[in-house]
Chain A
Amino acid sequence: MKITLDDQSQVFSQKISGMIGQNIDGCYQCGKCTAGCPIAYTMDPPPHEIIRSVQLGREREALTSHTIWLCASCETCTSRCPKNIDVASVMDALRILAFRQGQTEAEKEISLFHKLFLKVVERFGRVNDLSLIGKYNLLTLNPLRDWRLGKKLFSKGKLKLAAPRVKGVKELQEIIGRIRASQEATP
């Protein structure tokens, strides 16, 4: 069957290509990325079909999939692709777009965790587990999640109550502010 892509359907794949600095037209659906993916067992659709969706311009299908969030960035796919396609970076690009468009429903908890992680880093300069997990548990309505584990970590001196103090945190916040400003200038 011959598939002809109209201009509209090519816009999306060109956008992804621009973001990862690589053309992904070369993917011929061999499925090696899916075969090696440790998380493909619970992905729907599997990774190679996500690449196909991008090629065909099926933006919504790709951005609303569970698959993009379930990618653990282990890079097995990228290292095995016979066409040298950076599959893991495609997953990153799709997540970045999904975040920008607020389409994080498919895996709310995973996307929330990433978001809170960066918030904590922006506030303190470093990760503060207590602050991160506390917020995450509250917002996912599961305040006692892992409390036993937390207690154990605390008793072993592996959880600190005090937030990290980084002198340069203000500088970091200014830098992140400039990233935001640069993105608003070039959407």
Chain B
Amino acid sequence: MKYAYYPGCSLHSTASDYQQSIESVFQKLSIELQEVEDWTCCGASAAHVSDLLLPLVLPAKDLLKVEKMGLEVMAPCAACYNRMRTANFKLRENADLRRRVNQVLQADYRANVRVRHISDVVVNEYGLEAIAGLLEKDLKGIKVVCYYGCLSARPQKIVAFDDPVYPSYLDRLIKTLGGEAIEWPFKTECCGGSFSVSKKEVVLKLTHELLDMAQSLGAEAVVVDCPLCQFNLDFRQEEVEARYGKRFALPVFYFTQLLGISLGLRPDALGLKKLNVDPFPLLERKNIHG
């Protein structure tokens, strides 16, 4: 298996642990990733609120490169994934937009490159059965909630690769690893996303609701596959605790980190020390780590 790989800006900064765990896990799974050469930003939340063409042009510019590679492209960031899928969708649907975008790019992008979310590749393409055959460590006894967020679920007809309201792909993965994935109602609620800096109180309120629900149902950790969700839930967690007078101490793992542990990879190959809420007390308590 081989994919073009579009890491996106977060994976080179605030989500460098996600990046590290992806490299280690994909090597172990023998899935080859070829990074899109000289990629640029997808425009994230800023482009589509500022302009009509820019949010299509930025992803199309990188997708043109992927087209030449002759591969499907995999994105680990839900925002990049969403923006690339949305650009493809709009360009396929609207010939006038496609003409204007190509005029600006001085190219002929047909919007036929298939864009895949990392979880879709791991769970649906590589498959849980194949993963089950490789496991070295059981996550027995660990209780988590899987949090999917917005951008890989909505808009449904453009981005969803599972049930858009109540997805289960991460839950199924965790069960395959031997862990317990608790059913909970906030799987695809919003964390406030890009407002982490410019409207922090919104993020604190929404992440408080998520953490509070997770804890009240007995979760010991949260599992995510989006760098924005991870940042808000993990790195804003102490502020949430201070503001709402509660103690959560819930580690927020990237799914690739737990998968990596199960595959027998060492914590430093998975960036576990880069998490804000220390995951090691939980892992030691469950006899999972090292």
Contacts and interface: CB of A to CB of B under 8 A. Distances in A.
Q: Do A and B come from one complex?
A: yes
Q: Shortest 5 CB-CB distances between A and B: which pairs?
A: A75-B154, A113-B198, A74-B190, A117-B46, A127-B9
B273 to A, nearest CB: 7
A175 B43 CA distance: 13
B163 interface: no
Nearest to B202: A39
B216 interface: no
Contact of B12 (A38, A133, A152, A164): A164
Interface string A147-179: 001001100111110001011110010011011
B40 interface: yes
B1 interface: no
Contacts of B43: 118, 121
A60 B150 CA distance: 30
DSSP majority for the A interface?
A: helix
Given A125-B40, A179-B54, A72 B194 contact: yes
A152 B45 CA distance: 25
A126 B40 contact: yes
Interface of B: 9-10, 12-17, 38-41, 43-54, 57-58, 61, 94, 100, 103-106, 150, 154-156, 164, 189-190, 192-195, 197-199, 202, 205-206, 235, 273-274, 276
Contacts of B45: 73, 114, 117
Contacts of A179: 51, 53-54, 57, 104
Nearest to A174: B106
Interface of A: 19, 21, 38-39, 41-42, 70, 72-76, 78-79, 86, 88, 91-92, 95-96, 99, 107, 109-110, 112-115, 117-118, 121, 125-127, 129, 133, 136, 145-146, 149, 152-153, 156-160, 164, 166-169, 172, 175-176, 178-179, 182-183
Contact of B50 (A41, A96, A109, A178): A96
18 contacts: A91-B49, A109-B198, A110-B199, A112-B198, A113-B198, A114-B46, A115-B50, A117-B46, A125-B41, A126-B39, A127-B10, A145-B197, A152-B235, A157-B16, A157-B274, A158-B16, A169-B40, A172-B61
A153 B154 contact: no
A136 B46 CA distance: 14
A178 B104 contact: yes
Contacts of B195: 72, 110
A159 B154 contact: no
Given A78-B154, A127-B44, 15 more contacts: A19-B52, A21-B94, A76-B154, A78-B155, A92-B48, A92-B49, A110-B198, A113-B194, A114-B49, A115-B46, A126-B40, A160-B12, A172-B61, A175-B105, A179-B57
Contacts of A136: 197-198
Contacts of A41: 205
B61 A175 contact: yes
B57 A175 contact: yes
B264 to A, nearest CB: 24
